[in-house]
Structures are given as structure tokens and as C-alpha cells.
Structure 1
Amino acid sequence: MSDFEDDFITTAAAQVYGKSKSIALDIRRGQAVRDVLKQCYNISSDFKSGCLLDIGCGPGIITRILAESFEQSLGLDVSQNLISQAQTIASPRPITFKVGAAESLPVTDSSADVITVVYALHFIQCDQFITECKRVLKPGGIALFHGGVISKVSLSNGPQEIMPDTTPLIKDMNDKLKEIANKLKHPERHLLDCHETLYNDIKWPGKRRIVTTIENVLSLAELRRHYMCIPFVRRLGDGEENPLIKLVESIKRLWSMENVDEEQIEICACYHSVTIILAK
């Protein structure tokens, strides 16, 4: 368990996270993970057997997308509040949601075909979790860990060739957030380096990484809300001393949209995404 467990386990944190995060972005992430899973696990779209274990499932949006390919699925999260949210939404496939920690998985030996962790690996004690993966995975099973950072923002339907490039602004935000996270020794620092440090520390023969780009269309306001649901970012405040707020305001100035409602500014956000794959 992380020393920053209050960032995601308390009632207040769970309520903010569950209500403010981008459902559309989670759906896109779930689809991306499903695509990688089909490639590396060689399953077809109508695959309906095997057991999925999704760790850090939150409100269960991504779990439901992945569960479409499995006979049985179990979503685990340390937050009872997020599990309660997940349990309120019906699913066409059998899914069980329950409270559980990655470092002590509440399942039997050699019981899971696939273990997934999407945007949550940085909050897990990896050494203990990797030991649990070795115990829980069936022979031939895989563990798949996915995360990444935003790398570019553009107008989704604007004249791309004449719009100023936002890449330097995005890099500045990521660098400053990483600097703050490193100073605090906050787990988000591992996500901000695309899990490179965690990957290097994982002891697993044949481990590999796949780098992809994920694009998602959303409003600038939705992007702001999604990042502000992360306690680490939210605690930095609403002023431009918060790198996220500075980014949003800088993009509006760069595009000469200071007086346009953020809800009406439709953007395409590109994410540099990394998937770690461990095969047993």
C-alpha cells in the first residue's frame, strides 16, 4: 500500500475521482489495452473463456471493456467507495467487484489467465505485487500494465496546419509535475516517467514494453476536470502555480481563445502510452 493512500482510498477522494474523471478517456484506454491484449495473448474478438483479474479497477469502466473477452472477471480496488460505484452499473458479462489489495490478491494459485493494471501501477508496492502475479497467473498467462502521459493537444476540427503547436507547453507541464512529484516522492512520479523506473526494477524473464499513441476527443474543460480529479494535481491549487492550470490557460492564449467557453473548445489529446507485458 502506498504512503499516499489517502489520495484514493478515502470517501472524499473516491467521490471526486469517480465523478470527475473522463469516462470517454477511460473507454479509449480500455479499448487500447484490449487491442494490445488481443495481439500479445492471441485472442479473438469473440473470445469468451478464461479469467481476468483487473487491479485498481476504480469505478469499473475499463474492467467492463476488458471483460467482454472473458468468461469470468474480477475487479479489485482498495477503495470500498469506488467498488460501490462499480457495483451499481450493470454489465453484459459476469463481473465481480470487490475490495482487495494488489500486494495480497484474494484469489487462489494459478487461477488467472490475464492480470491487468491500467493507470494504477504507480500506487502499488511492485515487489510484492510481482510475487503475487507469479503465484496467481496460470502457466501461459500474462500480466499487462498500462499507463502514460499526455504528449500533445490540438483542436479536433480546426485548421491544424496554422494552429500553433502545443507540444512545448505539454512538455513544460509534464516536466514541472514530475519535478514536484519527485520532490514529494509521490507515486505519480512513476506514471510521469511512463513507468520506466518501475519497469527497470521488475525482475521477470522476457519482460517487454510496447509504446503506442492514444488519441481521444474531449473538451478542454473535460481535460481540466480529469486532471483535477487526481489529488496530487488538485492540491496544487487553482492558480497558474499549478502546471495543469497554467497549461490550460496557455493553450487558450496560444489559440487566441481566452474568451471562449472551455466546454466549447473541442480538442484531440494525444497520450504517449506504455504497456508492460509479463508472460508466465
Structure 2
Amino acid sequence: MDVEAFSDEEYSKIYQDHMFPVSKNVMKIVLSYLEEKKGKPFELAVDAGCGSGRSTRPLAEYFSKVIGIDISEIQIIKAKRSTPQENVTYQVASVEKMPLEDASVDLISADLAAHWFPVDQFALEVARVLKNRGCVALHAVYPKFSIQYKNYSETLTNLYTEAINSIYSSQYNICNIIKSEYQDIFDALPFADKERISGITEMGHMKLAELLGFIRTTPMYQSFLTKDRDGAIAFLQTLEKKMADVIGEQCVQENLEVHFTYFCVLACKS
């Protein structure tokens, strides 16, 4: 499944409804890095591969102007509809040919998106559009979560991890890019001043239905759905039953404590 899947309207809605929020801890790291390297004021941020604006809107309070770009017109339409901030705009564009002037951008950010980018072309475009001392921040969550709930934490975590691994196994290349913590992208960025931060943790509360909804947001599951709709639906139903049996049907509406782990690639144009 390639990035054109993000142009599917039904999938776009699933992604918007079920993808969890941007990590606040990652956001703090990115903004601190930009302030250290470039300093304020923060004028222009670009969210590359912005999708429906989930990772674009949180930037609005820190920058004078934010632009979200994505190759999917449907995603951009949804982003515009769900963005109230007046300093945020969106454009249909590719990350290898951004509609931006040379040396005009303070920050290029990509959340859960860079593993889809053409690495070399994106790296060159980043170098073109960033200001001197401008920064790029590429971050993603590992396909592994820890679920805490009463005495059932280990069992729930193992069930969910097994399901995630099964889904991700259909996209070895993407999975390996994430597991490598964007090593190829890190190497391709033409800046001497760069670093990678691993093990950034975040905790949230999700109901069982929301955890299953996250699996539906993955392109890997959508690919499964396209190839074998009945099998994909049965896969989620089986996982739901197994997890509900563990916590008890009467508890399926209770919040589960979910721990996420992120990594972030940071670089500064000097």
C-alpha cells in the first residue's frame, strides 16, 4: 500500500477520528531545540505530510504562520474544515517540491510521516527552504505499546503487541524504517549539526474501542482490508474478543493506561 491510500475519503475519516494526539513531550523537545539553535521569534513552521491537520494545529500557538502540506487533496480539505486557527493554511503539494521560497522556513516538522517520503529529494528540499539556523524535526512512535490495567497488564500488552506486529509485518520496508529510527533519513540530511533522541515516553488513557481504532488508522491494516475485507474485519473482532475476555465485558468502557514510546530526528541548517 502506498501513500495514495491517504487520498481515500473513508480512510481519511478513520485516521482523523482514531489517531491519537501529537505527543506533548515530543513537541516540547522540538520547540526547545529550535529555540536553542535559532532563537525566537518563531515565524514560519511547515508541517510536511500533514494529513488532516492533526500535527499542524498544535504548532499554531508557537509560530506566526503555519503551513501544512500534503499530496492528498482529500486530507487537505479535511484539514481546512477542522482548523479554526487563522494563522494556519494548507496546500496540496509534495514534500520533494514544496511551494516555498528559498531560506524562508524556521521549522519543518513531520509527525508519523517521514517514513513515506522520498529520502534524498526530501533532504535536498529541506536544505533549500530552511533559513540559516532553521531546523527540521522528524518524529514517530514505535509500533509497540504497553497497556496497564489492574492485574492484566502483561496479557493485554502481549495480545496487542502480537496484533500490531502481525499488521506491520505486511510492510517490512516501512516497519524497518521506523525501527531504525529513520537512520537513512538521518544520514541523508546534509547538515553536520544533527542528533536523534530515543525513548521519549508519553502516557494516555484509551478505551478498548479506541485501541482498536488506532489499528484501523494504520496503512498496513487498510492494505489488509483492501486485499481481504472479511479477514481484516475478523482479525479485529478476534482481537477485541480476546482483550474483552481478559478485562471482562463489563469493563470494556473503562480507560486503559497506554504507554507510547517515540523517537525524534533533529537537525539544524548552519
Pairwise same-fold verdict (TM > 0.5):
yes
Counterpart CA distance in 1 for 2:169 and 2:218 is 17
In the alignment, structure 1 residue 277 sits paired with structure 2 residue 266: yes
- One-letter amino acid of the counterpart of residue 110, structure 1: A
Q: Is the 8 A contact 1:71 1:93 kept in 2?
A: no
Separation of aligned partners in 1, 2:57 and 2:256: 26
2:184 equivalent to 1:198 = yes
Q: CA deviation at 1:190?
A: 2.7
In structure 2, do the counterparts of structure 1 residues 164 and 83 end up closer, same or farther at CA, with 3 Å as the change threshold? Answer: closer
Displacement after TM superposition at 1:274 (Å): 0.6
- Give the superposition deviation at 1:201: 4.3
User: What is the aligned partner in structure 2 of residue 239 from structure 1?
Assistant: 234
> Structure 1, residues 118-164: CA drift from partner, whole Å, max 9, x if none?
01111111111011001111010110001012320123xxx4xx334
Check whether the contact 2:106–2:134 (CA below 8 A) recurs between aligned residues: yes
- 8 A contact 2:42–2:63 mirrored in 1: yes
Q: Which residue does the alignment assign to 1:228?
A: 216
Q: CA deviation at 1:77?
A: 1.0
1:253-268, aligned counterparts within 5 Å?
253-255=245-247, 257=248, 259-260=249-250, 262=252, 264-268=253-257
Would you say the 8 A contact 2:45–2:105 is kept in 1?
Answer: yes
* SS at 1:190 equivalent: helix
Q: TM-score, normalising length from structure 2?
A: 0.83
Q: Distance in 2 between matches of 1:32 and 1:203?
A: 24
Q: What residue number does 1:152 align with? A: 146
Percent of residue pairs bearing the same amino acid type: 22
C-alpha change, 1:202 and 1:172, in structure 2 (3 Å) is: farther
The worse-fitting range, judged by mean Cα deviation, of 115-124 and 60-69 is: 60-69
* Whole-Å separation in 2 of the counterparts to 1:200 and 1:114: 16
Aligned mates of 2:27, 2:90 — CA distance in 1: 19
Report the CA distance between 1:60 and its aligned residue. Answer: 1.2
1:129 equivalent in alignment to 2:127: no
CA distance 1:225–1:267, change in 2 (3 Å):
same
The amino acid of 1:231's aligned partner reads: P
**Residue matched to 1:58:** 51
Q: Is the 8 A contact 1:133 1:143 kept in 2?
A: yes
Give the drift of 1:203. 4.3
| Superimposed CA distance per residue, residues 21-77 of structure 1 (whole angstroms, 9 cap, x where no aligned partner) | 23xx22x42x3332112221227xxx6641101111112132111121001111111
CA distance in 1, matches of 2:215, 2:79: 21
Q: Distance in 2 between matches of 1:140 and 1:110?
A: 10
TM-score, with structure 1 as normaliser: 0.81
Distance in 1 separating the partners of 2:138 and 2:186: 14
Whether the 8 Å CA contact 1:178–1:189 is kept in 2: the answer is: no
Aligned residue pairs, count: 255
**Comparing both structures, which one devotes a greater share of its residues to helix?**
2
SS of 1:238's partner is helix
- Alpha-carbon distance in 2 for matches of 1:81, 1:188: 25
Equivalent of 1:252 in 226, 244, 247: 244
Instruction: Tell me whether 1:5 sits opposite 2:3 in the alignment.
Output: yes
Q: Does the C-alpha gap of structure 1 residues 138 and 83 become closer, same or farther in structure 2, counting only changes over 3 Å?
A: same
Q: Which residue of 1 aligns with 2:77?
A: 84
User: Equivalences for 1:33-48 in 2 at 5 Å?
Assistant: 33-42=26-35
Q: Secondary structure at the match of 1:232?
A: helix
Q: Distance in 1 between matches of 2:212 and 2:161?
A: 16
CA RMSD between the two structures? 2.5
Q: What is the alpha-carbon distance in structure 2 between the residues aligned to residue 272 and residue 76 of structure 1?
A: 26
Alpha-carbon displacement from aligned partner over 1:104-126 (angstroms, at most 9, x marks no partner): 11101100000000011111111
What residue is the counterpart of 2:229 in the other structure? none
Q: Distance in 2 between matches of 1:203 and 1:128?
A: 10
